[in-house]
């Protein structure tokens, strides 16, 4: 297994992960162009563009795109995040040139037919409506919005009904011109591939990407607020957390261990204390969202109306307790969980392809799994205490959906975790 990285003359970075014992390849183009790169007026455009990329080019209809890749047993997909958008393919290794040809076509020659655009806007609006009707889904959007209010980092990936309806074909073209540039792109491939072949194919195929100066990114500014959407549901859905570290902080992996100990499985502190011992919830877990210049840690739980009164204080108590440190066996277990997750991810060409793409997109280089495992092994209790104290002493963000009147009546002006009793 050999990982190689080349920067083309036009600025595209090509990273390959050669694995000679598999028959397939995963490859794709990653762009530093996500929700946080949008304006308020065009919110949702990165996600809508990802949808429209498969709706036809000057050379292929939407049907042709699907048939060509599926006729060789492959598939295409894409996703949008807050900091990037990815377009990727998987197929048997002999079909690598076809994958790159189709990806380069949809990214450089999409026609954005007006009728197709209106239909796809309708699809996205249905997706948005479905999310709003799914409290344990929309609550994560609300949490992000209250962590980073009135700024791109807090925008919904799907956009709003108003912003999605207003997006026109020229807006999509302008977004591509400004964001889908060579310097903003990483092409990643993993599996039965040859680095020099990939470099040559990418160089030949992505000649028509627009050249536009990279725009300065608006710095994320954590605020921390509360939001309560009262709805007649059976359960109260709660997400509480605070700002933590960014991608480049040396405490990145200690944060992952901290999160696992608190809520990373059935043996975690929160699961054992609140579900197993008290029977107050069905689901409770921790979540992290880490970005280039900020990051958040949160705890999600779903509970009944009466149990809600005890839930948030119990969570706050666990966060305070964590500031005193952890037992050696807890740390060892969490390290093994994280290492196993990292190592098992190496068995999938798709996850390897994505891993190296994101490493290059964020850090500009790749990181060996051995170095990462070594960093995990070296994590100390003191580092975990640093993370715990940073989270507990930061201003909280608290959001609730459902019968959360108790939260609204008691925690609307929340400024610290120590307020929660």
Q: How wide is the angle at C-alpha 75 spanned by C-alphas 72 and 81, nearest 5°?
A: 160
Tokens 């009707």 belong to which residue?
133
Catalytic residue from among 18, 38, 42, 50: 50
Q: Which residues contact 256 (CB under 8 A, 6 or more apart)?
A: 288, 338
275-283 long-range CB contacts below 8 Å, 24 or more apart? 278/310, 278/314, 280/304, 280/307, 280/310, 280/311, 280/314, 281/307, 281/311, 283/136
Nearest to 201 by CA among 12, 414, 71: 12
Strands 236-243 vs 397-402: parallel, antiparallel or unpaired: antiparallel
> What three-state secondary structure class fits 132?
helix
Nearest to 331 by CA among 380, 402, 387, 272: 380
Nearest to 13 by CA among 411, 363, 396, 404: 363
Tokens coding 94: 């002999």
Does 50 participate in catalysis according to the annotation? yes
Annotated catalytic sites, by residue? Answer: 50
């Amino acid at each position: 297994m050999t990982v190689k990285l080349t920067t083309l003359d036009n600025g595209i970075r090509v990273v390959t992960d050669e694995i000679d014992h598999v028959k397939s390849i995963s490859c794709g183009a990653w762009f530093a162009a996500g929700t946080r790169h949008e304006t308020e007026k065009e919110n949702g455009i990165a996600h809508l563009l990802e949808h429209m990329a498969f709706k036809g080019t000057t050379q292929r209809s939407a049907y042709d795109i699907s048939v060509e890749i599926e006729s060789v047993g492959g598939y295409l997909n894409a996703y949008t995040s807050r900091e990037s958008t990815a377009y990727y393919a998987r197929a048997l290794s002999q079909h690598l040139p076809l994958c790159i040809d189709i990806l380069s076509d949809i990214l450089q020659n999409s026609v954005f037919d007006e009728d197709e655009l209106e239909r796809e806007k309708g699809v996205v609006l249905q997706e948005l409506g479905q999310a709003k009707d799914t409290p344990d889904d929309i609550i994560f959007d609300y949490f992000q919005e209250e962590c980073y209010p009135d700024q791109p980092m807090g925008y919904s990936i799907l956009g709003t009904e108003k912003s999605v309806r207003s997006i026109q074909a020229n807006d999509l073209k302008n977004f591509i011109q400004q964001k889908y540039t060579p310097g903003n792109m990483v092409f990643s491939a993993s599996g039965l591939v040859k680095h020099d072949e990939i470099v040559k194919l990418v160089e030949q195929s992505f000649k028509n990407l627009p050249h536009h100066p990279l725009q300065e990114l608006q710095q994320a500014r954590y605020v921390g607020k509360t939001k309560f959407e009262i709805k007649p549901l059976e359960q109260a859905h709660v997400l509480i957390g605070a700002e933590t570290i960014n991608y480049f902080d040396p405490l990145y992996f200690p944060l992952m261990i901290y999160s696992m100990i608190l809520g990373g499985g059935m043996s975690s502190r929160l699961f054992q204390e609140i579900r197993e011992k008290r029977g107050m919830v069905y689901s409770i877990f921790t979540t992290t969202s880490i970005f280039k210049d900020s990051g958040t840690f949160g705890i999600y739980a779903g509970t009944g109306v009466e149990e809600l009164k005890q839930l948030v204080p119990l969570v706050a108590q666990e966060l305070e307790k964590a500031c005193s440190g952890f037992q050696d066996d807890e740390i060892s277990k969490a390290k093994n969980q994280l290492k196993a997750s990292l190592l098992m991810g190496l068995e999938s060409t798709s996850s390897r392809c994505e891993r190296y793409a994101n490493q290059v997109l964020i850090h500009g280089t790749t990181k060996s799994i051995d170095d990462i495992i070594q960093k995990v092994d070296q994590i100390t209790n003191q580092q975990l205490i640093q993370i715990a104290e940073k989270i507990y002493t930061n201003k909280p963000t608290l959001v609730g959906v459902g019968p959360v009147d108790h939260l609204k009546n008691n925690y609307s002006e929340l400024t610290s975790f120590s307020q929660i009793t």
